[in-house]
Structure 1
Amino acid sequence: MNPYKTFKTLVPEQRKNLLILFATGLLYWIGITIFLPILPLYVEHLGGTKQQIGMVMGSFAIGLILSRTWLGEIADYRGRKIVVIIGTIVAFLSPIGYLVANSIVHLIAVRAFNGISVAAFTTGYNALVTDLAPVKQRGEIIGYMNLSVPLGMALGPALGAILLPQIGYKVLFGCIAGLAFLTCTLSSQVREKNHPLASSEQHQQQNQPSRSFWQLLTSRSLFVPSLIFLLIGMMFGVLVTFLPLYKREMAGLFYSTAAIASFSCRIFVGQASDRYGRGLFISLSLICYTMSMVLLSISESSVGFIMAAILEGTGGGILIPMMLALISDRSYSSERGRVFAVGVSGFDVGIAISGPLLGFLNWEYPSMFALAASFAGIGFLLFITQSNRNIIHSLRFACGLEGDRYAVEEKTLNQ
């Protein structure tokens, strides 16, 4: 497992673009995750109730959901880079919006607008990485390039927790805006490959079908990953909304520990999945997520809390790059922006509904995390029974005993 050796095999232009893109991703995720431990506290500082905190945090996914579709189309038809830049511009404007917001309604609107940033950046970034990565090293390159996420999440929440008592909300939000401006400047230096040809005739000439969003969503090869993303999004929505309130003095430690665990496992799983398949690692990640939420629901000790963070980070470190690699395997380059938009939209919807729903239910925090564990557990059962053409093939794929029968390199997708 040698990232240096892997990147040395790439042509210089390819390597340069990936390195600039990685630096862009790292700065972006530092800025975006500084909000994780401080935004629920900021809403509470402004007088928000538990229900209103859930509404504000969940509204983040409104922008994600409403913007994924057209951002995916822009990525396919206009290029990936412009979508990345859109994400960084919105990231620059959002902290300013939080500063001037003077009501819960305004905070909800800004938080929803902020969601456009993540929708744009993740769609453009992941499509760019997949375009630049050699097919035989796709899982490995995606794994390495997505190390920017746990690194950013290790630094961002810790910085937020450290800086907030020292400089206050206003200066901290200003610093986040400045970091986003730097990210935007850096992203403009990326040189992308010519974006895929857009017309149906050109797709047919390349033996690549031109599928609509509805065709992509209803294709079983993409519907099941989207449904799993939905369930994990619901779990994650519970985590980011209520953990800072449940263990406010330890929330920053949880996120940083999880990010370190995520970073550690991502170094290895990408290359291993290119050799052994995606299914085994996705199964393991869903088990880790389930165990993490169970620990949060029953453990009262700091050791249990840290173990939950390690398991959550391991789950995220494996699941996200493996699911991205999976849906990349199941799509053509000419539709990859829309495919990422469709696949990850399930995650957006999950975040949107779980925080506000549980906020209105007003359950005790352990019960909320027990429900979050059930979301991940259902995702695991769904994957081992429905991830391939039938239950037998799904179980074998989920155990790493056979390849992905939906991968387009092997055969045409079954609509």
Structure 2
Amino acid sequence: MEKRTLVTLLLALFIALLGVGIIAPIIPVYAMDLGATGVTLGLMVAAFSISQGVLQPVVGNLSDRRGRKRFLVAGLSIYAVVGLTYTLATSVEHLILIRLFHGVGSTMIAPIAMAYVADLAPRRQEGKYMGMLNIALFAGFAGGPVLGGVFRDVIGVNSAFYAMSALTVASLGLILALLPPDRSSHKTRSNAGLLTTLKRILSNTRVLGILLPRIGTMIVMVPTLAFLPILMDRLMGATGIEIGIVVSARTIVNAGLQAPFGRIADRHNKVALILIGSLIISACVSVLPSATNFLQLVWLSGFMGVGEALVWPTLGALAVEEGHRYGQGSMMGVFNMAMSAGVLIGSLVAGSFMDLFGLEYVFYIVAIVLAVSAVAGGLLIARRDPTREEGLFTDSNDS
């Protein structure tokens, strides 16, 4: 039963993220065609993160108490509707509102799926299971941009949004038909309220150390997803397919390395892995503005994927360990709230820097931010934290 649950969940996530990946490289250019500036483009990205960040701890805590499947169904339903609404946008303001609604749906998909998988993960195999989850997420997202480029170049922009909706409906069908009612990883569900849970989680120094590089890696994500397509389109005259290949190269490498690097995260020093991976990403991002041709961008994107493949399952494994104390839904809600905070900060800072100093400086500043956040986070994770012993759950495996 657990194997069936895992396979169903991962397949549904792959299909849903394939749809999201299809529109990822199209939205920035689509927004520019509607008159977006750097700041309004940043606001469009920020709108997604605001709704996502505010709601993730709430939804995560509720899923610990009331079950997870209902939230997955709701999130996928919202995604299906959102894909259609993009085609109706006639201004940047419309896109900002749509992205706000899109963020609500996202709140109920990835964090809940992470909590689902964390419930299934045996002790000391957290990295392996988070690696499998990330394979589904990144493989779907990796295949999407190339398909999105084909839709844009061959059929038209709106066809990509229709494809997203269709794929989301297919994913929803899998969840409804094959995913059994979820179980909590604990004998009883948590009765702790949201504020109590958040206070205990955020008082843990080790958790703060996990969240810092999570924020840093997401700050980097903004220019490499939202602004790199604009750079390629404006300076290199890149086609939709070329933009899709560059975006996908990073995610394909990331997905391909999740399984082996997830096993490495279970066996080796996690702080060292986070530092190495973050420095690889920072170095690649700082060089992106100096790339002069399509092939160089593909290589840099691929090496960024290597760094992310080191960081993502390692941070995920650390988050699962803390989830045993506080509830996986609550912990993953906070973990992904940090992701949203990173995207929000990155979008606003990147948009402002683009308008004030030029597109190139966006990449330099976020590379520095990631390096600093990784070092600071590593120091906090390595510290012994007395609050680490206090959790919301008692678990016989903790002893």
8 Å contact from structure 1 (residues 292, 308) kept in 2? yes
> In the alignment, which of 205, 211, 229 is matched to residue 244 of structure 1?
229
CA positional deviation for 1:153: 2.0
- Corresponding residue number in structure 2 for 1:227: 212
C-alpha separation in 2, matches of 1:144 and 1:199: 26
Q: CA deviation at 1:339?
A: 0.7
Quick one: percent identity of the two aligned structures? 20
Q: Distance in 2 between matches of 1:307 and 1:409?
A: 47
52, 55, 70: which is aligned to 1:82?
A: 70
What do the CA deviations read for 1:103-126 (whole angstroms, capped 9, x no partner)? 222210110111122221111111
User: Which residue does 1:399 correspond to in 2?
Assistant: none
Q: Which runs of 5+ in 2 are unaligned?
A: none
Corresponding position of 1:370: 364
Write the distance in 2 (CA, Å) between the matches of 1:183 and 1:230: 28
Q: 1:311 aligns to what? A: 303
Letter of the aligned partner of 2:120 in structure 1?
L
Aligned counterparts of 2:83 and 2:197: Cα–Cα separation in 1: 35
Supply the AA of the counterpart residue of 2:31: V
Q: Is the 8 A contact 2:257 2:306 kept in 1?
A: yes
Which moved further from structure 2: 210-219 or 99-108?
210-219
Query: Does the alignment pair 1:18 with 2:6?
Result: yes
Q: Return the match for 1:324 from 304, 311, 316.
A: 316
Distance across 1 between alignment mates of 2:18 and 2:49: 19
Residue in structure 1 matching 2:95, options 96, 107, 122: 107
Match of 2:350 in 1: 358
Deviation at 1:193, TM superposition (A): 4.0
**Aligned 8 A contact 2:28 2:41 in 1:** yes
Kept in 1, the 8 Å contact 2:280–2:303? The answer is yes
What's the RMSD between the two structures over aligned residues? 2.6
Is the partner of 1:23 in helix, strand or coil? helix
**Distance of 1:256 and 1:110 partners within structure 2:** 24
Which runs of 5 or more residues in structure 1 are unaligned? 1-12, 204-209, 392-403
C-alpha deviations, 1:362-395, integer Å up to 9, x for none?
Answer: 132221111111121112221332222169xxxx
Instruction: Please list, as runs of the form range in 1=range in 2, the aligned pairs for 1:395-410 lying within 5 A after superposition.
Output: none
CA distance in 1, matches of 2:39, 2:190: 47
- What's the offset of the Cα at 1:34? 1.3
Q: Deviations over 1:231-277 (max 9, x none)?
A: 22211122222111011324212211112210222120112222224
**Aligned residue-pair number:** 381
Aligned residue number for residue 127 of structure 2: 139
CA distance in 2, matches of 1:261, 1:117: 27
Aligned pair in 2 of structure 1 residues 271, 409: CA closer, same or farther (>3 Å)? Answer: farther
| Higher relative contact order (CA closer than 8 Å, sequence separation 6+) | 2
| Residue 199 of structure 1: how far off its partner (Å) | 4.9
Q: Counterpart in 2 of 1:263?
A: 255
User: Which deviates more, 27-36 or 332-341?
Assistant: 332-341
Residues in 2 aligned to 1:177 and 1:48: alpha-carbon distance in whole angstroms: 24
The separation in 2 between residues aligned to 1:97 and 1:289, in whole angstroms, is 34
1:104 partner amino acid: V
Residues in 2 aligned to 1:175 and 1:260: alpha-carbon distance in whole angstroms:
20
Find 1:64's aligned residue among 52, 77, 90.
52
Corresponding letter in the other structure for 1:22: L
1:198 aligns to 2:189 (yes or no): yes
| Contact 1:286 1:379 (8 Å CA) reproduced | no
The residue matched to 1:135 in structure 2 has which SS?
coil
Q: Cα–Cα, structure 1 residues 252 and 192, in superposed 2: closer, same or farther, change >3 Å?
A: same
Q: Give, in angstroms, the shift of residue 95 of structure 1.
A: 1.4
Q: Distance in 2 between matches of 1:241 and 1:79?
A: 34
Runs of 4+ with >4 A deviation:
404-412
Q: CA deviation at 1:306?
A: 2.3
1:172 matched to 2:160: yes
Task: Indicate which of 281, 286, 295 corresponds to 2:273.
Answer: 281
